Structure 1
Amino acid sequence: MSTLEEHVDVSVPVDTAWNSLHRVENYPRFVDGIRGARTEEGGRAHVDIDSGGGTTGFDAEMSDRGGGHVLEWRTTGGPELTGSFSLHPIGRDRTRVQLRLEYDPATVREAFGGPKGFAQASAIERLVRSDLEQFKEYLEHEG
């Protein structure tokens, strides 16, 4: 498994960011490749993504960890991915959003297509960084 950690600082209170992370239906507005998303019963979500010329759907389990602002998730169908969003207040109206993603590069390539090896890792890093920047834009201007 490979692990990727990225963060972005946003100019909103921690509760605003926290509430936005729980609105799965808005993920297509800031996550590239997501065509649609919906919350389902029991802390589950369904996500439809672009995958090399078609659309693929997968389910994920989501859970809040502890009493803090940590949202953990893992896929239950499709590519094996696990991750978490941790929110840390860094001021009254500023929050650090930290993402941790664990994935198997071969499985991701098989599910989503794209390059192999280092090129794939670089592409995933760029995509995650871009998605976090889009989340920042979404929170600060639309959320």
Structure 2
Amino acid sequence: MSTVKEAVDVEVPLHTAYNQWTQFEDFPNFMEGVEEVRQLDDRHNHWTTSIGGVRREFDTEIVDQLPDDRITWRTTDGDTRQRGTVRFESLDDAHTRVELTMDVEPSGLVEKGADALGMIDRRVKGDLRRFKEFIERRGTESGAWRGRVRPGDPGGGLI
């Protein structure tokens, strides 16, 4: 597995940045290669991506979520294996640091080559930059989910 860690400071309050990140179906607006995210329930999402001509579909499960602090997920099926956490830190009343740490297991020759060339790191950095532009341009979140998911809750647990 490769670990990617990137951060971006956004010019919106903590609750605005966090609330927008919970709107998974908006991810195609700022994540390169993400065609669709369908939220199945409060904990599960179905993703469709197309990266470098390789189309993938996979499901993720949120295993830990604390409003205004963090969201941790893992893949549950499909060809893609990853897990990660996005953390939110208030810098002041109008600025928030968004930090994404992700473990990715590239599958196939194309993905392994992309990882070796640092393309996964650059993609995540670009996605965070585009999130910054997206939320700052909006100035407000498009919605919010402020529920709590704990590790070990039914259907949860870390891998």
**Counterpart position of 1:16:** 16
For residues 46-72 of structure 1, give each alpha carbon's deviation from its aligned partner in whole angstroms, at most 9, with x where no partner exists: 111014435321100014445651000
Q: 1:111 to 1:26 in 2, by over 3 A?
A: farther
Normalized per residue, the structure richer in helix is 1
Counting matched residue pairs gives 138
Are residue 59 (structure 1) and residue 55 (structure 2) matched?
A: no
**Counterpart position of 1:118:** 116
**Counterpart position of 2:82:** 81
Instruction: Using the TM superposition, give the Cα deviation of residue 29 of structure 1 relative to its aligned residue in structure 2, in angstroms.
Output: 0.3
Q: 1:92 to 1:41 in 2, by over 3 A?
A: same
In the alignment, the residues of structure 2 paired with residue 93 and residue 15 of structure 1 have an alpha-carbon distance, to the nearest angstrom, of 10
| TM-score where L is the length of structure 2 | 0.78
Instruction: Using the TM superposition, give the Cα deviation of residue 16 of structure 1 relative to its aligned residue in structure 2, in angstroms.
Output: 0.5
Q: Which runs of 5+ in 2 are unaligned?
A: 142-159
SS at match of 2:134: helix
Q: Which runs of 5+ in 1 are unaligned?
A: none
For residues 18-47 of structure 1, give each alpha carbon's deviation from its aligned partner in whole angstroms, at most 9, with x where no partner exists: 111110110000000001111112510011
Q: Percent identity?
A: 31
Q: Cα RMSD between the aligned structures?
A: 2.0
| TM-score where L is the length of structure 1 | 0.86
Q: 1:41 to 1:90 in 2, by over 3 A?
A: same
Is the Cα contact below 8 Å between 2:114 and 2:120 reproduced in 1?
no
